[in-house]
Amino acid sequence: MLNPATTAGPSSKSLDLEVALAAVERHLTSLGQALHDSNASAIELQASELHRSLATAVNRFAQAARQGGVPPALRERLAQASGRVAAQRESLARATAALDRAIDTLMPGQGNNASLYGANGAADRGSSTGVVQA
């Protein structure tokens, strides 16, 4: 008779990795849709969920690697998900740069410090009185 511990081990480990990776893929897709829709609250929610699912997946994949390896198909899917994260990050950086250029065009006097960052990490655009001069 087969020992359930030995027969369930690899498939159970693969299933655990599959669940973690599927969550990452699901949140990547949802974040992409939220970005496409310009839905700020959905972007915030999905970015947070993606961060959480990525942390879980990385931990599970690292543990699996220490315990004997990750199936090649799951390793490939994780690499693809990583590429999608990088592409979304690059897309967001481009959108931010375009927004910064638009603000600099609309408020030329405010753009002198556009390449500098303030203490809170936001672009320092000079005075923050809320007054816009035309």
Tens of pLDDT, residues 30-79? 999 998 898 889 989 999 999 999 999 999 999 999 988 889 999 999 99
Question: Does the residue 67 lie in any domain?
Answer: yes
Instruction: Quote the CA–CA distance of 25 and 81 in Å, as a whole number.
Output: 6
Question: Does the residue 40 lie in any domain?
Answer: yes
- Give the pLDDT confidence score for residue 57 in this predicted structure: 94
Number of structural domains (the chain) is 1
Which of residues 64 and 118 earns the better pLDDT score?
64
- Give the pLDDT confidence score for residue 108 in this predicted structure: 81
Question: Does the residue 26 lie in any domain?
Answer: yes
Question: Does the residue 132 lie in any domain?
Answer: no
Percent over 90 (pLDDT), the chain: 40
CA separation, residue 13 to residues 6, 51, 60 (Å): 11, 22, 9
* DSSP secondary structure letter of residue 123: B
Structural domain boundaries enclosing 31? 11-109
Question: Does the residue 18 lie in any domain?
Answer: yes
